[in-house]
């Protein structure tokens, strides 16, 4: 059980040695977003700018235009919400090579409540031309996708979870921007997911197998570009698709998958996420239960969907 944000701090430290032009920017959340490890090792290349996300994103654009790879870190909601225009104008439009690594997404943030729970960040970033959007799940995927994002030259948004989740991938799994990974093969339902909900998806799949329903579980951490090929391949096999995410039902993975299916292989799809509401304070488990993202609720909902579409 590890929190992806802890892994993020470590991988940054390693990448800092490999790439001399990585600059880490933070806006008074270095402890929370775990960039302090990097700061200790590379004090000259870590700038804690104070509480000013807009300034941070534009400074990132400027540094990138001088050949650096700035990594701008803050909570997902402040990155995408507060500094949207700066990301749009100073990063995405001029194709500046800035990596926005945003932690604390979704209801999984828990106690801090609605103001700190980004439920629309993927939606906001997905709409930006030139922007790559990634949402890894466990420690392996988080580490490998951050490495891939640094190798890739272009604006990238990476949503990194705060809550601890068990390791789901083995260390030999290959990751690529634009490619999903099948974690569990199945023939009756396809579940696509990202972040902490990938773990819930796998648990649901295990339970459904006991009811003789075979579920294919796909990690679709690369939300933009999305792996159309894999979505089509799996949906042609199962004819039944479910997306599960700790994000609004609008504009996230569910929408991205629906866009592919409706144009290429229109099969029934259930979009599971947070319905059109703001979150509230509570533990992550309490919130998941209240908003239907706990394993029991998911199992019930997917069964209903499966039966109403397959029989």
66 binds another protein (CB under 8 A): yes
Nearest in space to 76 (alpha carbons), one of 157, 142, 177: 157
Burial of 286 (0-12, 13-18, 19+ CB in 10 A): middle
Is residue 62 at the binding interface for another protein, with CB under 8 A as the rule? yes
Six-digit token pair at 68? 């650096």
For another protein, give the closer residue by CB, 13 or 84: 84
* Residue 158 backbone phi and psi in degrees, to 5: -125, 120
Q: How far is the CB of 237 from another protein (least distance, A)?
A: 42
Show contacts with another protein in window 108-167 (CB under 8 A): none
**Two tokens, residue 252:** 């996230």
Q: What does the alpha-carbon distance between residue 91 and residue 8 come to, in Å, rounded to a whole number? A: 22
Among 70, 251, 252, 279, binds another protein (CB under 8 A): 70
Q: Is 63 in the site for another protein (CB under 8 A)?
A: yes
- Compose the 19-58 pattern: x for residues touching another protein by CB under 8 A, - for all others: ----x--------------------xx-x-xx-x-xx-xx
Indicate the pairing of strand 132-134 with strand 222-224.
antiparallel
| Interface with another protein, residue 67, by CB under 8 A | yes
Of 71 and 213, CB closest to another protein: 71
Minimum CB separation from another protein for residue 47, in Å? 7
Shortest CB 30 distance to another protein, Å:
15
- The yes or no reply on residue 60 touching another protein (CB under 8 A) is yes
Q: Which is nearer to another protein, 50 or 266 (CB)?
A: 50
Name the β-bridge partners of 133: 157, 224
- Report the number of secondary-structure helices (H) and strands (E) in the chain: 13, 12
262 burial type by CB count under 10 A (0-12 exposed, 13-18 middle, 19+ buried):
exposed
Q: Which residues bind another protein (CB under 8 A)?
A: 23, 44-45, 47, 49-50, 52, 54-55, 57-68, 70, 85-86, 88-90, 93-95
């Amino acid at each position: 059980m590890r929190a992806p944000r802890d892994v993020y701090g470590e991988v940054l430290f390693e990448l800092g040695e490999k790439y001399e032009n990585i600059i880490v920017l933070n806006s008074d959340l270095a402890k929370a977003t775990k960039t302090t490890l990097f700061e200790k090792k590379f004090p000259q290349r870590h700038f804690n700018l104070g509480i000013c996300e807009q300034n941070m994103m534009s400074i990132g654009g400027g540094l990138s235009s001088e050949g650096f790879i700035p990594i701008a870190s803050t909570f997902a909601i402040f990155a995408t919400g507060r500094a949207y225009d700066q990301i749009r104008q100073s990063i995405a439009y001029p194709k500046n090579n800035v990596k926005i690594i945003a932690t604390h997404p979704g209801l999984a943030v828990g106690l801090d409540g609605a103001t700190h729970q980004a439920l629309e960040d993927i939606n906001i970033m997905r709409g930006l031309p030139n922007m790559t959007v990634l949402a890894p799940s466990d420690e392996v995927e988080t580490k490998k996708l951050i490495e891939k994002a640094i190798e890739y030259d272009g604006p990238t948004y990476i949503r990194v979870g705060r809550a601890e989740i068990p390791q789901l991938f083995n260390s030999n799994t290959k990751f690529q921007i634009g490619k999903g990974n099948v974690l569990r093969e199945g023939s009756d339902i396809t579940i696509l997911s990202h972040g902490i909900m990938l773990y819930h998806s796998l648990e649901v799949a295990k339970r459904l197998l006991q009811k003789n329903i075979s579920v294919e579980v796909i990690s679709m951490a690369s939300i933009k570009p999305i792996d159309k090929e894999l979505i089509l391949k799996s949906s042609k096999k199962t004819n039944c698709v479910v997306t599960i995410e700790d994000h609004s039902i609008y504009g996230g993975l569910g929408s991205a998958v629906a866009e592919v299916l409706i144009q290429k292989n229109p099969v029934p799809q259930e979009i599971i996420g947070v319905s059109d509401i703001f979150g509230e304070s509570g533990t992550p488990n309490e919130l998941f239960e209240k908003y239907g993202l706990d394993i029991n609720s998911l199992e019930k909902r997917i069964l209903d969907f499966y039966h109403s579409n397959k029989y």
